Structure 1
């Protein structure tokens, strides 16, 4: 835990951004494997398993770049590392929980909880970015 508390804001942003990028690659590999296993060359080929894997990846691809941008912006503003750890950690867990929940049919608690863990920190990050655009950094 000392490693996390000793990080600079840039290192904290890098940690969570890197983990989310790795998650995105893992989800992309799942799409490739689903296509290969179902002999689909492009798109989903009308195959439900490929379509589901593609949507899990697509949903992550819609939110992860925004999350990374928010973390980097807050880092550039000098937001304390612990703030980036809280936001980044919630976003990362939210993306994992949502991907797991979306990997099954129907509305699941994982889908709902995962989206809440994505939207709430994004909303908080967005609000912090707007406020600090007008009032400056937290250190002055």
Structure 2
């Protein structure tokens, strides 16, 4: 069974991961910081934006893949995937512009990320319960 919808959002997530990693590398080179953050708060934030995506992407994409394999309609998968990508963009923008403090984008990015993860987990639990 081809996992086309999950493949789409995994690919978009992969591109976002590379874009955020490139941002970290660019900052490291411009500031001549090879390891660590050198006390540079901009580099700390860029690293956290990238790391937070890396921390959340595996579970979100695994849950999406399992939901797709369980037969969840493509429409719902696209809804979850779209919210996932928007959430991660909001988080990246919000954490950066808010300089680590409160920001609309950071708040909604985290909240929507959790909504996607929780909703997909529940979808998969329902699929499991229906299989009994």
What is the TM-score of this pair, normalised by structure 1? 0.87
Which structure 2 residues correspond to residues 50-61 of structure 1 after superposition, within 5 A? 50-61=43-54
| Aligned partner (choices 63, 86, 108) of residue 79 of structure 2 | 86
| Aligned partner (choices 6, 11, 32) of residue 39 of structure 1 | 32
Which structure 2 residues correspond to residues 53-132 of structure 1 after superposition, within 5 A? 53-104=46-97, 105=99, 106-132=101-127
Contact 1:9/1:79 (8 A) holds in 2: no
Counterpart-to-counterpart distance in 1, 2:75 and 2:45:
35
Q: CA deviation at 1:123?
A: 0.8
May I ask how many residue pairs the two structures share in their alignment?
129
- Cα distance change, pair 35–43 in 1 and its aligned pair in 2 (3 A): same
Q: CA deviation at 1:58?
A: 0.8
Q: Deviations over 1:91-140 (max 9, x none)?
A: 1100001100001222101111111221111110011111111213xxxx
Which structure 2 residues correspond to residues 1-20 of structure 1 after superposition, within 5 A? 10-20=3-13
Counterpart-to-counterpart distance in 1, 2:129 and 2:36:
44
Structure 1 residue ranges (4+ consecutive) displaced by more than 3 angstroms after TM superposition: none
- Cα distance change, pair 71–9 in 1 and its aligned pair in 2 (3 A): farther
**Which secondary structure state, in structure 1, belongs to the residue aligned with residue 80 of structure 2?**
helix
Provide structure 2 residue ranges, at least 5 long, that are not aligned to the other structure.
none
